Amino acid sequence: MNTALPTVIATSVVRGSHQGESHGGVYTIDFNNCAVTQHIDWNTTDIDFAGRGADRGLRGIAFDRDHIFIAASDELFCFDPEFNQVGAWRNPYLKHCHEICVYQRMLFLTSTGFDSILAFDLDKQAFSWGFYLQSQGGQWSGFSFDPRSDKGPKPSNAKHINMVHVDRGGIFISGLRTGALLRNSGGSGVTALCSLPQGCHNARPFGEGILLNDTQADCLRHVPHVGAQRAFKVPQYAEESIEFAGVDTSRIARQGFGRGLCVIDGTTIAGGSSPSTVTLHDLETGATLASINLTMDIRNAIHGLELWPY
């Protein structure tokens, strides 16, 4: 690993039923200088980032040339590198979006509220494709649909799809209740590549294995096809240090909730958790390299996490 530590970009959401005075938004985190800069504060901007779920705020992050794409619950936003908004798009099939990614000239989004994946054409700046995921009798399948028509799927959150990763191997999909990392490599076919723990986030292929936030076990894991896995415990804090503990009567907001994951290089990864914390790990040595906390407000949790390219 290089001696210089990276800068990452992170989004945070407010978890639980009460927004209160908690502030989430978009941050860059410079590990080399231990510096955090907040670029967007969703409580003060005139952009509506609110969603009707347990999480309110901004979610997945992706880059295309000099554009930063960030998803809210039901809308895709575009910013320049100085975080001036330059575009925004909605679609009736985009609901409770979680993660997004770019592959070639398409941006892929999880539409959790429709058990679907959507694709946004970066050149035409329009939603152009959708894929509905379904299972029956333990067999996975799905069907494509046109998100510009009214013939798509009905709202559904049976699988709670929270992750999409796309590369030349196909479209990889996972969620809280998929129980497996799934791959669509074209058409309606869906293959289960490996089992996953219930409640996980950010599961994706990495090298000869997979990365995931095993959220229920409070661990970030790298599981290779062959050999021993790495498990990094999510940071925990003394209870007396936690702000607004107990304010969420639904008990959704809790410390140690692992979500947000990005690859820095061939051996270094970053993971997010609540209260909003981003931590660097070295897969080769098993060492935790650095950890930066943004706030001790238990309602404020990391969601999207990517390497800052600019």
The structure tokens listed for 246 are: 């107990």
Do the Cβ atoms of 178 and 191 come closer than 8 Å? Answer: no
pLDDT (average), residues 120-129: 98
- Exposure of 174 in the CB half-sphere (CA atoms within 13 A): 26
Do the Cβ atoms of 162 and 213 come closer than 8 Å? Answer: no
Query: Which contacts qualify for 283-287: CB closer than 8 Å, 24 or more apart?
Result: 283/222, 283/230, 284/1, 286/230, 286/232
- Residue spans of the domains in the chain: they are 7-274
pTM to 2 decimal places: 0.93
Q: How far apart are CA 267 and CA 230, in angstroms?
A: 12
Residue 80 confidence (pLDDT) above 80: yes
The DSSP code for 217 is: G
Q: How far apart are CA 188 and CA 308, in angstroms?
A: 35
Per-residue pLDDT reduced to its tens digit, 232-277? 999 999 999 998 776 654 456 688 899 999 999 999 999 999 999 9
- Of 228 and 62, the one with more pLDDT: 62
Instruction: Please state which architecture CATH assigns to domain 7-274.
Output: Beta Barrel (2.40)
